[in-house]
Amino acid sequence: MTMSPGLRKLALATHLTLSVGWIGAVAAYVALDAAAATSEDAQILRAAYIGMELIARKVIVPLAFASLLTGIVMSLGTKWGLFRHYWVLISFLLTIIAIGVLMVETQTISYLAAVAADPTTSAADLRRLGNTLVHSVGAAGVLVVILVLNLYKPRGLTRYGWRKQLSTPQRNSKTSG
């Protein structure tokens, strides 16, 4: 089943907006995470950890799930399919893995924010808390890989894609699209 051209464009615009928003939110998170990793100032550390939790829970998590959902809609409603092409399947799996790591990491982020929000936490304790910089930079990298895959759409059908292509009658190239 394919979407009408108007619906496909609306779905694509929605998916792109959510996906680019996810990347932007991760970039903002990385900036706060870098501040937490490099600052010695207790006020900056408190603000960074609390801001990281707000961005993660209120922006990144919803955008990640919305991007996944709209990506599935795009794959199932277009000629690409979810399991026909390797680039779609790899993008889907990387998105699932990224969301899984994100959901585990939000527990750490919440702990850091709770400690930072406690006024009895000393500046020295704040400096020893650590950070999530490796995960946040890694997440940004994974999202860029997904973006590049979706932009370039490298050739390569999965076994399912080959079977589907062989079982589907070929349409006239002037009418397909």
Q: Rounded to an integer, what distance in angstroms lies between the CA atom of residue 112 and that of residue 53?
A: 8
Which CATH number fits the domain that encloses residue 145? 1.20.120
List the structure tokens of 61: 């998590």
Can you give the pLDDT at residue 137? 97
Q: Which residue range is the domain that position 84 belongs to?
A: 5-167
Q: 98-102, 123-127, 155-159: which range is least confident on average?
A: 155-159
Residue 125 lies in a domain: yes
Residue 172 lies in a domain: no
Residue 177 lies in a domain: no
* Domains contained in the chain, number: 1
Which of the four pLDDT bands, split at 50, 70 and 90, describes residue 6? very high
Residue 33 lies in a domain: yes
Express each pLDDT in 118-150 by its tens digit.
Answer: 999 999 999 999 889 999 999 999 999 999 999
Does 177 score more than 50 pLDDT? no
Does the predicted model carry a pTM greater than 0.85?
yes
Residue 80 lies in a domain: yes
Residue 176 lies in a domain: no
Residue 63 lies in a domain: yes
Residue 162 lies in a domain: yes
Does 43 score more than 90 pLDDT? yes
Greater pLDDT, 163 or 149: 149
